[in-house]
Amino acid sequence: MRHLVNRVSSLARAMSKAVLAATLAASFLMTHQANAGGNAKHAAIVIDANTGKVLYSDNPDAPRHPASLTKMMTLYMLFEALEAGRISKSSAVPISKHAASMAPTKLGAKAGTSITVETAILGLVTKSANDAAAASGELLGGSEGQFAQMMTAKARSLGMKNTRFYNASGLPDPRQITTARDMAVLGIALRTDFPQYYGYFSVRSFTYGRSRLANHNKLLGRVAGVDGIKTGYTRMSGFNLVSSVSLNNKKLVTVVLGGQSGRSRDAEVAMLIKKHLPNASTRNASGGLFAKLTGKKAQRVEEEVMALADPAPVPAAKKAVALLEPVVASIAPTPASRPIVSVTEEVEANATDVDPMTTASAEAEVEAPSGNGAWVIQIAAADSKDGAMKILNKAQSLGGKALAGANPFTQEVQKGSATLFRARFSGFDTKKQAWNACEALKKKQYGCFALNN
């Protein structure tokens, strides 16, 4: 009798598991149909981050709006500056009137105050704070618009071929687009390039002032192995989520864009993870996506990035003043990134109306760089050679020892029908020397970028 009871119990458990499996399968099908069926915004991709193999995709290269997924790139740029030593976790991030005016969600920091870099990072990861994003962009780029050009250039260098940024937060802008594949590449790059900072994405909450701010990523702690990355939503984009999983040496990056609700988006990501994680590799294959498309190992698309380096010409009445004045200091990117010229906000306001996806063919080098040394720095661009030299002479008089042995030179570039002259210094044998010179100029309110000669 006992044997019969045990057998019936075993059958009941087996049937229960079968019913559960069928229910989960039905739930996945219903969730997928709800998101993808008849939903023009939907796109998704699942990538084995160890090998780069695409395990699932639906409209992976269709243009979509990133919403707050944009902040993944803002965080990438902050991590890059931290790693390079240009800023520290305790560095002040000033809150401008522009940053304070951002629409919610935000920290609510007042204009004229500041937050630390670490607070900005935590605010971006958990609260998806738009004021922290705008302020970080101004810190790193001088203005949010110029930072957006830097973000787009960085996207190109990472292999994100179909992404363009116009702000640091992801607040609605019809021109700001990405793809599911590009967001997966960025998710992988964040983990691979900055393992020392990646842990921020798994922070469940943090305290700002008297408020406890919870992470918007509801899969943390609910789906085994999920350790980040970012959610996003606007009416234009729908509900977006990039999720990373690391479990038993298997790594997945799953992207769902354009979900119809936060709950259905989360359910789809959870089911995609459940379905495809068993098929993921436990080995980091040589030459896989980690090796090919992450920031430190990618072959930079130099010509395309250079096309972003100079702003569109501004009306003649503005040029004489705007191009001869330095701007609020910006942080130099890593040497692999080409410079974005230092111009005043007046010029930047004009430049932000230019499509940062401009192709390399729009600009042709007219004069090769001159001077000795392995490194050069760029501080501005002017509409005449004399104008560029005036900027250089004034900067050298203020730069002290860091520029004592530097050689000022101009570089003429043709962009469309406009001719611009880059203001540069050569003569730096090491990256550290070039960055020290930039530090000295930043203290005098000059923008500055270092690059390999």
As annotated, the active-site residues are: 68, 71, 128
Mark 340-367 as b/e (b = at least 16 C-beta within 10 Å): bbbbbbbbbbbbbebebbbeeeebeeee
Q: Give the whole-angstrom CA distance, residue 313 versus residue 165.
A: 20
Per DSSP bridges, beta strands 114-116 and 92-94 are antiparallel
Mark 383-406 as b/e (b = at least 16 C-beta within 10 Å): bbeebbbbbbeebbeebeebbeeb
Q: Give the whole-angstrom CA distance, residue 308 versus residue 426.
A: 21
Contact 208, 119 (CB under 8 A): yes
Q: Determine if residue 279 is left, alpha or beta; phi over 0 gives left, psi from -120 to 50 gives alpha, anything else beta.
A: alpha
Per DSSP bridges, beta strands 211-214 and 226-234 are unpaired
For 446, other C-beta atoms within 10 Å of its C-beta total: 25
DSSP classification of residue 104: S
Q: Which SS3 state, helix, strand or coil, does residue 10 take?
A: helix
Q: Give the whole-angstrom CA distance, residue 105 versus residue 124.
A: 10
Contact 380, 325 (CB under 8 A): no
Structure tokens at 301: 């698309």
Residue 70 CA, distance from chain mean position: 6
Contact 452, 334 (CB under 8 A): no
Q: Give the whole-angstrom CA distance, residue 203 versus residue 280.
A: 25
Using N-to-C axis directions, what is the helix angle for 180-193 and 144-158, rounded to 10°?
90
DSSP classification of residue 286: T
Q: Which SS3 state, helix, strand or coil, does residue 410 take?
A: strand
Q: Give the whole-angstrom CA distance, residue 217 versus residue 127.
A: 10
Contact 377, 434 (CB under 8 A): yes
| H or E stretch at 326 | none
Cα maximum dimension of the chain: 102
Q: Give the whole-angstrom CA distance, residue 132 versus residue 35.
A: 31
